[in-house]
Chain A
Amino acid sequence: MTLIKNITFRNPIIYYGGFFLLCCLSFVYSFGVGVSEIGFSEVWLCVSQQCSSVIYETILWQVRLPRVILGFIAGFGLAVAGALMQNVTRNPLADPYLFGIVAGAGLGATVASLLPEAFHYFSIPFAAFFGALFAVVVVLGVVVRNNWRRVEHLLLAGVAVSFLLSSLTNFILYTGDAFSTNRVIFWLMGSLARADQTVLWIIVPVVLVSSCIAILWSRQLDALLLSDESARTLGVQVAKLRILVLLLCAAMTAVIVAYCGGIGFVGLMIPHIVRALIGITTAKLIVGSGLVGGCFLIWVDVVARSALDGQEIPIGVITSAVGSVFFLLLMRKM
């Protein structure tokens, strides 16, 4: 008997394997790139515990490793959040930043930057996180109060809250001193430079646990792709499921934005690429988007570190540039 399973799809395992391999190569390559060039032979020596100098050892393990992992996990989280948002709203333009998360984080960071400089290491991410959370709560509050009459309400409320919070941020920046304004603006452009072990201990569990929860609900999430009514007749509690998923996306995006600043377009474009390659059902999309998104951000960071001599480009600038070109190309097909 030929089972339907074996002949049904472009086999995703091949793609996953390919993506995974690509991730591993990206990991190794990105170790070597940065302000101080470290050759592959040196990287290999350090990996096998025979580093030729202490400086190299410190750079690789204390600076580069956390940074590469942060890049991977931030890309992973943003892409998964984007995929979930798009599936759950049935809107190909949905994006994790839709809730006004970046605007909220920006406002939080701006307020925190008014505090004395000694507190900034802790206060900016914390304030950014709470700002992001505040935005999510406002958006969800509005939508839930309206009884979810239309899923578009979520998108519209997100855009409105985004503009409101950005205008507050701009007002504070306009009236504040130039020095802290500068810092906030750079922060909003996104960077992985804040990577260290503590940061990873916060972000990695949030992203992985949220993704796993979403995969456990993937069957129900697939049902949402046809219509809300169709999902309900299949026994899915649509409103509850949607709030659960939105909270997962919000948690992932908020912690990522709090430490990495604004990294736009990853959540929007990566799921579209994965849909074209692997398929649109939720479980496949989450795993695929996570791997491709992580890989993509590692490479973006490689470019950010190496494109200009002795100076980093904010990664948000690169993702947005690549993202918008991609988007214009996508529009030709829509």
Chain B
Amino acid sequence: MAHCLLKTHQLSWRVNQHPIIHHIDFSIHSGETVGIVGPNGAGKTSFLKCLYGEILNFTGSVTLKNKSILQLKRKALAKQIAVVSQTHSSVFNLTVFDIVRMGLIPHKNMFDTDSQADFVHLEKALKQVDLFHKKEQTFSSLSGGEQQRLLIARAIVQSPELLIMDEPTNHLDIFYQHQILSLAKKLGITLLMTIHDLNLAAQYCDRLVLMHEGEIVADDTPEKVLTPELLKAVFKLDCDVDLHPRLNVPRVTFSGDLA
């Protein structure tokens, strides 16, 4: 099996004595695509924040290639983990080019300028997400899907080993939801994301982690995680699960009857 990239042991985080995530043991291996699912307030985003160094006052351990992330410098961490988090807003209107260029930051020292190779790299990343023709447009003039694609392009430039995405399909229509996820998956980078839509999760992820009240309830293949019993316990709704006739992945339909 591929080597273990990121691992947590007994990871907990509290706010004012109130536990947000609780004793989480989790690992992700290189090449995997893992989706974290669960209801609002399950601690999915907080869990991710512990992994990419935004939350540091956790207990337990988070190790990246056997090294505690608390011992890694921000720059070293940024070379290995890229993050596409929930929507940003900027008062000043950055252009598409300004934002994709930010991906170079972890790889540059104070006196380094952008080389010809860097510009080729930026151009390639923008073409990969189909935004090259919009490089001079401002961030706020892009649609939600384009903004997400741009942040993915920035992550491509960052060239990490692990890409973490927090709700990448939020507020996007069905076309963009699939576009973003298939784009992310095609990059060939280890991928960890939170996602609300269980059917999308089943379709794009090799493994699903089901969270509930700050704990991991199930961590396995989509077929084993998306069962009516588990989903009913977590989402408090009755549901039916069958196999998608063409894709051969689980398909969840909630009936709307409150359990």
* A→B interface (CB under 8 Å): 1, 3-5, 8-9, 86-87, 90-92, 216-217, 219-220, 222-223, 225-227, 229-230, 232-237, 275, 279-281
Whole-angstrom CA separation of A90 from B94 in the bound complex? 12
Interface residues of B (CB under 8 A from A): 52-54, 73-79, 81-83, 85, 88, 90-95, 97-99, 101-106, 108, 110-111, 114, 116, 119-120, 122-123, 126, 132, 135-136, 158
**Pair B102/A92 contact, Cβ less than 8 Å:** no
Q: How far is the CB of A2 from chain B (nearest CB, A)?
A: 9
> Does B105 lie within 8 Å of A90, measured CB to CB?
no
Q: How many angstroms from the CA of A222 to the CA of B114 in the assembled complex?
A: 14
Tell whether, in the assembled complex, residue B54 and residue A281 are in contact, meaning their CB atoms are under 8 Å apart: no
A sample of 25 inter-chain contacts (CB < 8 A) reads A3-B116, A3-B119, A4-B119, A4-B126, A9-B97, A9-B136, A87-B92, A219-B108, A220-B105, A222-B101, A223-B102, A226-B88, A229-B54, A230-B83, A233-B52, A233-B81, A233-B83, A234-B103, A234-B158, A235-B73, A235-B75, A236-B105, A237-B74, A281-B94, A281-B98
Contacts of A9 in B (CB 8 A): 97, 136
What is the bound-complex CA distance between A134 and B126, given in angstroms?
48
Cβ of B85 and Cβ of A230 under 8 Å apart?
A: yes
Structural contact, B92 and A280, CB atoms closer than 8 A? yes
Q: Are A216 and B110 in contact (CB under 8 A)?
A: yes
Write out the residue numbers on chain B whose beta carbons fall within 8 Å of the beta carbon of A90: 90-92
Distance from A235 Cβ to chain B, minimum over Cβ atoms (Å):
3
Question: How far is B94's CA from A225's CA once the two chains are assembled, in angstroms?
Answer: 8
Of the residues A86, A227, A233, contact of B82 by C-beta under 8 Å: A233
Cβ-defined contact, B94 with A235, below 8 A? no
Chain A residues within 8 Å of B111, by CB:
216
Q: How far does the alpha carbon of A219 sit from the alpha carbon of B75 in the complex, in Å? A: 13
B98 and A222 within 8 A (CB): yes
In the complex, what distance in Å separates the CA atom of A87 from the CA atom of B123?
Answer: 26
Contact B92 A222 (CB under 8 A): no
Partner of B135, one of A4, A222, A233: A4
Within 8 Å by CB of A4, from B97, B99, B102, lies B97
A4 touches B91 (CB 8 A): no
User: What A residues does B88 contact at CB under 8 A?
Assistant: 226-227, 230
B54, B91, B104: the one within 8 Å of A219 (CB)? B104
Q: Of all chain B residues, which has the CB nearest A271?
A: B92
Question: Complex formed: what's the CA distance from A322 to B97 in Å?
Answer: 34
Q: Which residues of B contact A230 (CB under 8 A)?
A: 83, 85, 88, 102
Are B97's CB and A234's CB within 8 A?
Answer: no
16 additional contacts, CB 8 Å, given A3-B120, A230-B85, A234-B158? A1-B120, A8-B136, A216-B110, A216-B111, A217-B110, A219-B104, A226-B88, A226-B94, A229-B85, A230-B88, A232-B74, A233-B54, A233-B81, A234-B103, A234-B106, A280-B94
For the complex, give the distance between the alpha carbons of A281 and B105 in Å. 14
Contacts of B52 in A (CB 8 A): 233
